[in-house]
Amino acid sequence: MSESIAAPVVGVGAVVWKGDKLLLVRRGHAPRAGSWSLPGGRQQSGETVYQAAAREIREETGVEIRILGIADVVDLIERRADGGVAHHYTVIDMAAEWAGGEARAGDDAAEVAWATRADLARYDLTPKVLEVIELAARKRTQPQS
């Protein structure tokens, strides 16, 4: 049996709201290249998860955000045939509001879209992404402290 990876990679993502629409990206690179998802990427050393989320959304979409809080933490674990861990990402997803900028595909995104929750079925999002969107929607309606 080969060894598993040493530690998970920390990633950040965000459900970014602009009115009744949320920001989606078509992934330009692996994993899941060509599929629609939430914008985000890897946290860099020296960044808080909040700083990483703002930077990643800006780099990937050109949009500035105001973070409302953490919507969910998701572990994406891919195992090899021998049971070892091939990839492990721990993704901290934020609920956020659009604060400025025009959405455009940049960095790792092939395409961007603003979608209403009623339109989400046509983007073939994973069940976990849909769950995170619902959690972020609830976070959005909670009073901020």
Known active-site residue 111: yes
pLDDT, tens digit, 9 for 90 and up, residues 63-113: 999 999 999 999 999 999 999 999 899 999 999 999 999 999 987 888 999
Q: How far is the CA of 53 from the CAs of 2, 41, 85, 121, in angstroms?
A: 33, 8, 26, 25
pLDDT, tens digit, 9 for 90 and up, residues 26-74: 987 776 778 999 999 999 999 999 999 999 999 999 999 999 999 999 9
Residue 71 tokens, joined: 């919507």
Could you tell me which residues come within 8 angstroms of residue 82 by beta carbon, excluding any fewer than 6 positions away? 1, 2
Choose, from 3, 111, 131, 134, the residue flagged as catalytic: 111
Residue 107 tokens, joined: 């960095």
Q: Which fold has domain 9-141?
A: Nucleoside Triphosphate Pyrophosphohydrolase (3.90.79)
Provide the Cα torsion 98, 102, 108, 111; round to 10°: 110
The pTM (predicted TM-score) of the whole model is: 0.89
CA 145 to CA 143: how far, in whole Å?
7
pLDDT, tens digit, 9 for 90 and up, residues 105-145: 987 888 999 999 999 999 999 999 999 999 999 988 776 55
- Taking the domains of the chain in order of start, what are their residue ranges? 9-141
CA 2 to CA 143: how far, in whole Å?
49
